[in-house]
Structure 1
Amino acid sequence: MVGETGFDSPVSQQLTTLPFTLEKVVDCLSAMQVIQQKKIDLIIASDQLPDATTLEFIQQVGRQNPMPALVIASPDACVEDAVAAIHAGASDFIAGNITLKRLTTLLEQQPVETPEGPIAASDASRSLLAMARQVASTDTTVLITGNSGTGKEVLAHFIHQHSPRKAQTFIAINCAAIPENLLEAELFGYVKGAFTGAYTSRPGKFELANEGTLFLDEIGEIAGSLQAKLLRVLQEREVERIGSHQSIRLNIRIIAATNQDLARQVNEGTFREDLFYRLNVFPLHCMPLRERREDILPLARHFLARTGRCLQFSPSAEQALLNHDWPGNARELENVVQRALVLTTGNTIQPEALMLPANGTQSTTTTSSPIRSNKLHKRNRTLEQEHIIDTLLQHKGHRTRTAETLGITTRTLRNKLADIRRQGIDIEALIAQSKTSDEHRYQGE
């Protein structure tokens, strides 16, 4: 807690009943000293500090990496003050005195990590983070499994940030998003003249992540021809650039992730058994959102707060969020929140702005006619993929512009393109064909 105005006097004495450690200071200078010396998850600050304005304090806190969640409390604030604070980077703004009940609610909404880390309100998520913290202190290789959108990369970042390597580089590479003929060069690097187009030497991801952490996302998509080379690097802890015979020693932490069943792939002969056991030293599993429903509302509020708009969910909207099965997990939830922001004009998000299926629609359809439901899902998925491909071709294969047009993140686009590739669609060939057609049309004109 920072400042004195805005807090009920009995609160400090009653805080001993809560399972949290409290630091209480009276001004901005003291607060920054504490923040720099200790790990702070949540800051609740008065808007009447003796040595800084509210916006100045928010800016100073915002320079911290990672930034703690920051709530501004004001006994007599106006809407303009709240909007300004949220836009400056505050997580929330509370008008009126902070009572013990309101404080408890705030702490429960930020139970484990800052807004840049995992949100863990459910017992399953708390247990997962506890194991992640334990393995983070070692150099043990970690394999994170789970459905798409469950937060595997967020968990990988969490492990890195809680490891002795946290001051070093964290490098992530999506093995499914890079064509097979380019992935080897991306991973291992190459020397000048190693192949056509290699005009200069270039380090690979292993070199760039040396002394730090390398995150291999979608490791189950890596081609068989590359698996043996990857295994050698993991065993020998050294890498050779393509076209070079000079070995580069590695001091590196490996975290891999997949949404596939690697054990099944081993049995089917599509994934090397020795590579699987080399990666699966310490397995962690991210459960789907429907199996940890206590995380839904904290995640939704987190995504909402991150937009900088001073909005809240109505009780009926929160119930709609809880009723949905979230096949796309946290990624789908984030997209729903972004969509709701577009459709909401007031200060409260209503259920219709979420555009979720009506209560019971999903379960009723699945129970009464699973064949029809599967066909409908497949048709909707096909239409979505056609729209993605059309947009990608319009932008000549430019991923960032395509994602912006679609209203999704580039990471979401990469995952969707990977799904399309798995169905046998050669996206790069379509892009090349489209460019050729445009050139011919231009020449004809």
Structure 2
Amino acid sequence: MAADLDGSRLSVLWGLPFAGTLLSIALVPLVAPRFWHRHYGKVAAAWALAFLVPCAFVFGPRAAGAGLVHALVAEYLPFVILLTALFTVAGGIHIRGNLHGSPGLNTAMLGVGAVLASFMGTTGASMLLIRPLIRANGHRRHVAHVVVFFIFIVGNAGGALTPLGDPPLFLGFLKGVDFFWTVRHIFAQTLFLVGALLAIFFALDSWYCHRREAATRPDPAPGTRRIGFDGKVNVALLGVAVVLVLASGLWKSPVAFDVAGTPVGLPAIVRDAGLVGVTLLSLWLTPRKVYQDNQFGWAPMQEVAKLFAGIFLTIIPVIAMLKAGAHGPFGPVVSAVTRADGTPDPAMYFWATGALSSFLDNAPTYLVFFNTAGGDAAMLMTTLAPTLAAISAGAVFMGANTYIGNAPNLMVRAIAEDRGVKMPSFFGYMLWSGGILVPLFVVMTFIWFR
């Protein structure tokens, strides 16, 4: 639908349902928490209808229906199927033993998560480690900052080195960017950001631990039981999920099926069917006790699925307007990334991609600026390498600026709140990201993206 809508002829008013969705996620939990907890799915559906119904009147029911099918079949369902598979498989791996949440252990777990994120995806690494991290800190009064830095590092920055790490980089891989290009060109930036965040976290967590934890709850798992993990079959299933995702990008097939005007290729069908199979196998083969020990529940996945359904539908006209480039309503944004001599400005690409990735889905935002910079992978990997590095870094790193910048953010918050952690509000979280991440991004701009 976004491809069919002429974004250059759309008014910015078509972006109001998307803005309403974001404001609802940000404000309603603050002013009406009980209402939000019970009816957030209905709120997301209402904003989706606020776009689809006027679209049907203005462009016709056929166009609105085609847009709905495209958003669901080509974007939303693959997104939710992958998240569900990773959520289920990672939830079936229980790390046992007495992990005691000291500043040193917490920092080490965040560092391990950052490494894993580039190989099993930010979602997979987040789902694997967030539960044991929260359990390890169950005796502490102040835990929210641990989860916030987990989102910064494991849910976002750690996934910057390979196409398996984060969806924007996977889209670049599908467009022709070499698999190892990102690790060669933004390794230093990733090392700087992750290293700085780990150092800041260690200092902050040490302060909380030694100055603010005068009265702590009893350790829920005392003793020195040997560290290990249960649910080993899920490690193999996680590997199958990664192979399925990677193969869908490498396998080129002319076979495609038309679903109400949306082409669905055979590789995508095989990938999604395989991921559904992985999910069902995990539920079948994992002992019930493992899920019980992990306090596994479907509430976090349900919240993400419902809210992102609204986001994927209301974002349709916004992406169309962005794709219109300099001729669309967001023309000033697109024009701002080009210097007076017509060459791309890496600093502006970094901040423009990052700013939009903070509030829009970072995968289509990556594609918009990838195409704005010419869309030629060979040229972007060589002559325009600084520009592609800026786009890649902005899309991945700045997805951590808000809860909705990247899928793991919202999911990790939901799991933490389900475990009793009092997380910052939407704007409260932005105070954390604005005070910690943004200054680091400014430093990175002067070092790498001038």
Normalising by structure 1, report the TM-score.
0.25
Larger radius of gyration: 1
| Structure of greater relative contact order (alpha carbons < 8 Å, 6+ residues apart) | 2
